[in-house]
């Protein structure tokens, strides 16, 4: 089986002639369509908002598109808050979910009047000490143990560094009430990259039940429940993807079963998806620049793990299309590598692909989230450009490629690199 690139070979040749490889390419049409589909899936909830996880794809042009489609921004750091604010997200359009949070991050969050999601009960006193306690506060819940769906273990929240215990949630709400908080939120993240329509509905049932209990125990007005992220994508071509309409209906049923009978039918549902919103609609485009015949067959690209580290870091699968050879037989076994001085710098290992020649363009799929964002400068490698394929078929440079001057910029006080 194979995946189809969202751009033709002819179009990609044209783009690659304008922007030097490697570069990231994003599909504006599909990004907008997905945002609209998510909003439709949860339209039954009047207060619904998708807070896009900025960490997944921190590019102002992408954030602007999502803002235009009614999304908010989920931020986790000082600079992400700055980016969201600069793009135009204001106030409660921004959710600030962080951990081990520096004082200056909380201070900026309060200055921007965003919704703060506290990761730990000790952060209540810390927030009050470094800034103040706002009228609306969310708390992050971790139920511990293992999270399973139909006896299949999905993840292990008990080992995760995020969130408060069940007992701490009650205590936190009581403390916050005593400090004048009037509106409360709940938040939880129990599993990553789930490819099942059951994840959000199961998570919703857990959170909805806890919300009812917290209201009864504390009297707090719970204004919103944030299902966070975790809705994944089918990285492999033989996987079946999630159906967001089915997922939305499953959450609605849980809402009707648990919250409505408890008199909590006014609760707003939030999500914080990054991968689902962007991953399939971004690709790393690279060129084959070396062919090596030793104990294995290697294809060396002008991209490396510094451009896309997920395969090297997690052993993650990213499908690869050799442009122009989509229908050719996959009768060659290759390791697809980059040029880092690390043996794990491989985009694919023992991958069956069509014969690859020097100069071929490779389209590395599903890199639109946690792709460019996780890049780094090991070996002095420079981050690539990011390009937007617009709805009208034109392209826009939305981040230029780094230069050696950028790499040496933090040594500007030395005078050593002033001529670069």
> Which positions are annotated as active-site residues?
341
List Cβ neighbours of 231 (8 Å cut-off, separation of 6 or more).
194, 199, 200, 242, 244, 247, 271, 273, 275, 276
List Cβ neighbours of 409 (8 Å cut-off, separation of 6 or more).
none
Helices 166-178, 199-218: axis angle to 10 degrees equals 50
DSSP designation for 190: -
pLDDT in tens, 167-214: 999 999 999 999 999 999 999 988 889 999 999 999 999 999 999 999
Reported residue count of the chain is 420
pLDDT for 150: 59
CB 219 within 8 A of CB 173: no
pLDDT for 385: 98
Q: Give strand ranges (E) for 36-155.
A: 49-53, 72-75, 94-97, 115-118, 136-140, 147-149, 152-155
List Cβ neighbours of 167 (8 Å cut-off, separation of 6 or more).
none
pLDDT for 151: 53
List Cβ neighbours of 17 (8 Å cut-off, separation of 6 or more).
none
Average pLDDT, the chain: 96
Superfamily of domain 280-411: Lyase, Ornithine Decarboxylase; Chain A, domain 1 (2.40.37.10)
> Domain limits of the chain?
28-278, 280-411
Q: Greatest CA separation found in the chain?
A: 70
Q: Note the pTM of the prediction, 2 decimals.
A: 0.96
What sign for the dihedral angle of Cα 155, 156, 162, 167?
Answer: positive
Q: Is domain 28-278 classified as CATH 3.40.50.880?
A: no
pLDDT for 309: 96
pLDDT in tens, the chain (420 residues): 789 999 999 999 999 999 999 999 999 999 999 999 999 999 999 999 999 999 999 999 999 999 999 999 999 999 999 999 999 999 999 999 999 999 999 999 999 999 999 999 999 999 999 999 999 999 999 998 777 665 565 557 767 789 999 999 999 999 999 999 999 999 998 888 999 999 999 999 999 999 999 999 999 999 999 999 999 999 999 999 999 999 999 999 999 999 999 999 999 999 999 999 999 999 999 999 999 999 999 999 999 999 999 999 999 999 999 999 999 999 999 999 999 999 999 999 999 999 999 999 999 999 999 999 999 999 999 999 999 999 999 999 999 999 999 999 999 999 999 888
Question: Measuring CA to CA, which residue among 336, 342, 335 is closest to residue 381?
Answer: 342
Dig out the tokens for 256 from the structure: 């009707």
pLDDT for 155: 59
Residue 277 and residue 365: Cα distance in Å, rounded?
Answer: 14
Query: What phi-psi label fits residue 405: left (phi over 0), alpha (psi between -120 and 50 degrees) or beta?
Result: alpha
């Amino acid at each position: 089986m194979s995946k189809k690139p969202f751009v033709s070979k002819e179009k990609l040749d044209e783009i690659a002639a304008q922007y030097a490889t490697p570069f990231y390419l994003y599909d504006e049409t599909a990004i907008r369509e997905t945002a609209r589909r998510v909003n439709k899936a949860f339209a039954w909830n009047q207060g619904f908002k998708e807070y896009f996880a900025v960490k997944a794809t921190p590019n102002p042009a992408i954030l602007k598109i999502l803002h235009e489609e009614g999304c908010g921004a989920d931020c986790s750091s000082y600079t992400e808050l700055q980016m969201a604010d600069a793009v135009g997200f204001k106030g409660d359009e921004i959710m600030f979910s962080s951990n081990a949070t520096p004082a200056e991050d909380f201070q900026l969050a309060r200055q921007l009047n965003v919704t703060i999601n506290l990761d730990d009960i000790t952060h209540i006193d810390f927030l009050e000490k470094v800034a103040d306690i706002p009228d609306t506060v969310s708390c992050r819940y971790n139920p511990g143990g293992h999270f399973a769906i139909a006896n299949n273990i999905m993840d292990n929240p008990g080992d995760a560094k995020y969130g408060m215990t069940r007992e701490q949630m009650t205590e936190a709400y009581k403390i916050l009430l005593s400090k004048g908080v009037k509106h409360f939120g709940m938040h939880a993240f129990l599993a990553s990259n789930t490819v099942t329509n059951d994840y959000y509905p199961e998570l919703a049932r857990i959170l909805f039940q806890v919300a009812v209990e917290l209201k009864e125990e504390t009297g707090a007005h719970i204004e919103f429940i944030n299902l966070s992220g975790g809705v994944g994508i089918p990285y492999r071509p033989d996987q079946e993807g999630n159906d967001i309409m089915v997922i939305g209906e499953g959450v609605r049923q849980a809402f009707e079963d648990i919250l409505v009978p408890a008199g909590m039918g006014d609760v707003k549902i939030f999500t914080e998806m990054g991968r689902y919103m962007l991953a399939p609609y971004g690709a790393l485009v690279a060129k084959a620049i070396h062919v090596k015949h030793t104990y294995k067959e290697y294809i060396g690209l002008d991209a490396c793990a510094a451009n896309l580290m997920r395969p090297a870091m997690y052993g993650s699968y990213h499908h690869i299309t050799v442009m122009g050879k989509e229908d050719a037989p996959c009768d060659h076994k290759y390791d697809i590598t980059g040029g880092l001085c690390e043996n794990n710098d491989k985009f694919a290992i023992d991958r069956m692909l069509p014969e690859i020649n020097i100069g071929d363009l490779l389209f590395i799929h599903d890199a639109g989230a946690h792709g460019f964002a996780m890049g780094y400068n090991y070996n002095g490698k420079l981050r690539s450009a990011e390009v937007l394929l617009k709805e009208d078929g034109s392209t826009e440079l939305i981040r230029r490629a780094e230069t050696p001057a950028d790499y040496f910029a933090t040594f500007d006080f030395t005078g050593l690199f002033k001529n670069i």
